[in-house]
Chain A
Amino acid sequence: MAILQRVKLQTLSIPLLSLLIAFIFGSLLIAMQGSNPLFAYQVLFTKAFGSIEGIATTLAKATPLILSGLAVAICLRAGLFNIGAQGQLISGALASAWAGYSFVGLPFLIHIPLALLFGAFFGSFVALVAGLLKAYRGVHEVITTIMLNSIVIALADYLASTPFKEPDQPITRTPKIEESARIPDLFGLPFGFFIAIAISVVFWWLMRRTTTGFRIETIGRNRNAGWYAGISVKRVIISSMLLGGATAGIAGAVETLSITGRFEPAFNAGLGFDGITVALLARANPLGVIPAAILIGGMRGAASTMQFRAGVAPEIVDLLLALILFFVTAPILLRLLKRKEEGISLSSGWSN
C-alpha cells in the first residue's frame, strides 16, 4: 500500500511542481517587462476564479480543452502521441456547423445530437487515417497527425471560403447554425461543460473497469506483453485513435454549437494544441484532465484582462503554458524528485 500511496503522491507532485516552477520563471519575465509579477498573477487569478461570471467564463473556456485534452490523453494511454487533436477538432467544428445550418426544421432534441455526431464522426475520420497508417504501415503517428493538421486546416479554410461560405459576406465563414442546433446554457454555464465532464467520467470508467480500457493500457505499457497476451495491437491503435478523434471532434462541435455558432477558421486556433498541455499536465488521467483544463482555460480567458490591468503582454500566458509543458515532459523534475532506480519514464509509463 505504501508503494501505491507514493505513486499517487508522485503523479500529483510532478504537475504541481511544474506549475510552481513555470510561474516562478514567468514572474521573472513579467518583472523584466517592468510589471509586478505578484500583481499580474493576482489579476489573472481573480479574473479567472474570483467571481461567478469569471468562473463561468473560465468553465466555458475549459470545455473544449477538457475534450481535446481527453483526445490526447486516451491516445497517450495506448502509447500514441496524438498531435492531431487540432485537425480533428477543426474537422468536427466544421462538420457540426454544416449540420447546424443545413438541416432546417428539426427539433433541437434531434438537431443537437445529430450535429454532435457529425463532429464526432468527422473528427474520428481524420484520426482514423493516422491510425490506419500506424497500424498497417508503421508510419509514426506524430508525423501523420502533424501532416493531417495542415491538410485539414487548409481544407477547412477552402470549404469555409467557397462551397460552405455564408453568401453575400466578405468574411471566410459558414452561415450561422439554426437555433435548433444551439446548445443552451444551464445554470449560466454552457451545457457543453457538463457533456465534457460526463465524457471524462466515461473515459475514466472505461480505462478502469472495462476490458477495452485494459487492452489500451496494456498495449501502451508493454506492447510485446500485450501481443503475447492476445491483445491485437492493430485494433488497439485504431480504436484509441478513433476514440481520440471522436472526442476532439466533439470538442470542435461543442465549441461551434454553444459558443461560436458557426465555423470560422480563426475561432478554433490552438484549442487542440492546448489539449496536449492539458493531457500531459493531467498525466493522461481522464479525471485529471478536468482541473488541468480549468486552470489553462482560466489563464486563457483572463489573459487580456491581465494585459490592460497589469500592463503585461498577453503572450505571457502562452509562455507560461509552454513552460508548464516543458517541465511536465522534461525528465529533469523526475530526477530531482526521485532517485534514478525508481524513476518511471514519461514515454513508457502513464500511471493514474
Chain B
Amino acid sequence: MTNLLEVENLSKRFGSVQANHEISLTVKPGEIVALLGENGAGKSTLVKAVIGLVKPDSGVIRVKGEELPYGDTAEAIARGIGMVHQHFQLVPVMSVTENLVLGDEPTKFGFIQMQKAKRETAELSKRYGLAIDPDAIIEDLPVGMAQRVEILKALRRDVSLLILDEPTAVLTPQETDELLEVLRNLAKKGVGILFITHKLREVMALADRVVVLRNGKLAGSTTPKESSESQLAQLMVGREVVLHVEKGPGNPTGAALEVRELEVLDDRKLEAVKGLSLQVNAGEILGIAGVEGNGQRELVEAICGMRNRRKGTVRIAGKEVPNLKPHEVHAAGVSHIPEDRERHGLVASYSIADNLVLNRFDQEPFAKGWIRNLDAVASNGEELVERYDIRTPSASAPASSLSGGNKQKTVVARELSQDLPVVVASQPTRGVDVGSIEFIHKQLISARDRGAAVLLVSAELDEILSLSDRVAVLYGGKIVATFDSKFANRDEIGRLMAGSQGAHS
C-alpha cells in the first residue's frame, strides 16, 4: 500500500530552539499512528508543519506520494488533511452548526443557507456516531462536546488523514472511550490517523504503531505489541520513569482545611454542590474521585474564592473564612493550581518570570512599596525554571512560547514554591507528559510531607488512587463515600462514581 503521509527529514527551528530535527514519519491508509514525546519534544510543531501552520526550515512532506508546499494550510486541507488542535479553535458565541460551516458556508446568491447547514450537521453527526445538538452554543457545551465539534469540523471535508493533537487531554474517561471508538471506526473506513497523546493507556489500546520524539529528534518507533507502557515512557524521557510514584505513609496532624455543609450554585444557577462536608488534615492528600460535572469544579471554586458560596463554612488552618476573592484566599494560606491554566493561570504574553510572581508581584521582595524589583523577579524566575525543570531557553521568554506541559509546570512552580499550608490542585497533570507527571506528583507528595494539606481533584482515577492518602467519592454534589486509600477498591469506587449506593461509608 502506498503511504498516505510521508514526512522526510523535516526540520524546524524557533530562535535557539530546534523544535524538529530531521524527522521522518509515515502514515498508511487505515493506520493509527500515535505520536509520543515529552512536553516540548516537538510533536505539535511537527503536525503543524504537516497542516501548513508552521513553515519548516527543510524537509519534504508528501501526501499520497505528491509533495505538499510549505506553509499552505488551504492546500493541505484540499489534499484531505484534517486537524483537531491542542487548543480549541471554535468561536464560543456561535452555534455548533455555525462553527462547523465557518469558512466554507453553503451559500445561495451569496446568502448562507442555515437550514441546509443544519441538515448537513445532523447528517454528519449521525454518520460518525457523534451525537450533538446543531443549535447549541459552543460556550454552553461541556469540553467533551466541544471536542466533538472540533472533530466533526475536521471530518466534514472527507478527510483521508486525520491529525489529532492531544484530543483526550480534557476528556473524561467515558468521553475518551467514546472517542477511541470513533477513531477505530474511522480507521476501518480507511482514514489514516495520527494522534498525539500523553496517556500511554490510550496508545496501548488504540495505536497500530507508535512514534516517539525526544528533544525534537526521532527517538524510536515501535508497536504496542512489542513494548510496554514503561518501555514507552523510557523511550520518551530517555531514562527510567516511575509511573506510580512511591510515597511513604502520611503523617496527618490536625485539620487544615474544613468544609461544612457547603452549597454552591453552578453557572446556570442550579445547585451543583449540595451540602457537602469534608476535611483535609495537614500532612495528607485527600483525592476527590468523581465523573466530571458532579460538582468538583464548583467545590474547588467555592473554596478558592472564585465562586460565591450559598451556604456553609470553610475553615483554613482553624480560622473561618468568609466568601472571599481569590487573592484573599491565597493570603489566607491556600495555593491553588487552577483547572484552566490558559484562562486563569497565566498571562500568555508575559515572561515566564512575571508569571511566576503573578499573585505576589506586589509583595516583598518582588516589590518595595510601589516599585517593582525586577531583579528579584528575574532571579526568582531563573531559580524556579531550574528547580521545576521548566523547559525554556530563558525565564524572560514569553509564556506563550512554552509547550503545554511546561505551561502547567510554570503554574505548579508558582503555587507550590510558596509553601502555603493548604494546596488545592485541580487537574494538576492535564496535558502533561509522563516525565512531568512524575515530577508534579513528587512535588505534591513533598508538599504533603512538609505538612501541607493537599486537596486533589482529578478526572484520572489512577492519579487519585496513586497519590491520595484518603479518597472521597463525589457524586451529584455530595461526598457519597470516603476510603482510606489502602483499602480503596478501584471497581467499587467506579461504581460509586457512577451513582450506585456503596456498602462502605
Contacts and interface: CB of A to CB of B under 8 A. Distances in A.
Contact of A4 (B48, B306, B370, B397): B397
25 contacts: A1-B16, A1-B393, A2-B15, A2-B16, A3-B14, A3-B394, A3-B397, A209-B372, A211-B361, A211-B370, A214-B362, A221-B349, A221-B350, A222-B348, A225-B343, A225-B344, A225-B345, A226-B347, A227-B326, A229-B327, A230-B325, A230-B359, A339-B53, A348-B349, A351-B349
B55 A339 contact: yes
A3 B345 contact: no
B330 interface: yes
Given A210-B372, A341-B54, A344-B349, 16 more contacts: A3-B394, A3-B397, A3-B398, A211-B367, A211-B372, A212-B370, A222-B346, A222-B347, A225-B345, A230-B325, A230-B327, A230-B328, A339-B54, A340-B53, A340-B73, A341-B48
Contacts of A3: 14-15, 393-394, 397-398, 401
A314 interface: no
Contacts of A210: 370-372
Contacts of B344: 224-225, 228
A222 B345 CA distance: 10
Contact of B358 (A2, A7, A229, A344): A229
Interface string B52-68: 01110000000000000
Given A209-B371, A209-B374, A227-B326, A214 B346 contact: no
A349 interface: yes
| A-B pairs with lowest CB-CB distance, top 7 | A230-B327, A2-B15, A228-B344, A229-B359, A222-B347, A211-B362, A229-B358
A218 interface: yes
A331 to B, nearest CB: 16
Interface in B341-393: 343-350, 354, 358-359, 361-362, 367, 370-372, 374, 393
A6 interface: yes
A287 B420 CA distance: 40
Range class of the A interface residue count:
20 to 34
B358 A218 contact: yes
Interface in A1-60: 1-4, 6-7
Interface string A51-77: 000000000000000000000000000
B326 A230 contact: yes
B312 to A, nearest CB: 22
Contacts of B73: 340
B214 to A, nearest CB: 22
Interface in A198-223: 209-214, 218, 221-222
Contacts of A218: 347, 350, 358
Given A211-B372, A340-B53, A341-B54, A228 B306 contact: yes
Q: How large is the interface on B (under 10, 10 to 19, 20 to 34, 35 or more residues)?
A: 35 or more
Given A228-B338, A230-B327, A339-B53, A2 B393 contact: yes
A202 B367 CA distance: 18
Given A218-B347, A230-B330, A341-B53, A6 B372 contact: no
Contacts of A230: 325-328, 330, 359
A105 to B, nearest CB: 38
A1 to B, nearest CB: 6
Nearest to A351: B349
A221 B347 contact: yes
A227 B371 CA distance: 21
Contacts of B346: 222, 225
A7 B358 CA distance: 22
Given A2-B393, A218-B358, A230-B359, A339 B71 contact: yes
A140 B55 CA distance: 39
B396 interface: yes
Contacts of B48: 341
A7 B399 CA distance: 13
Interface string B299-317: 0000000100000000000
B331 to A, nearest CB: 8
A212 B371 CA distance: 9
Contacts of A349: 349
Nearest to B374: A209
Given A2-B393, A222-B347, A229 B15 contact: no
Contacts of B328: 230
Contact of A229 (B326, B370, B396, B401): B326
Contacts of A222: 343, 346-348
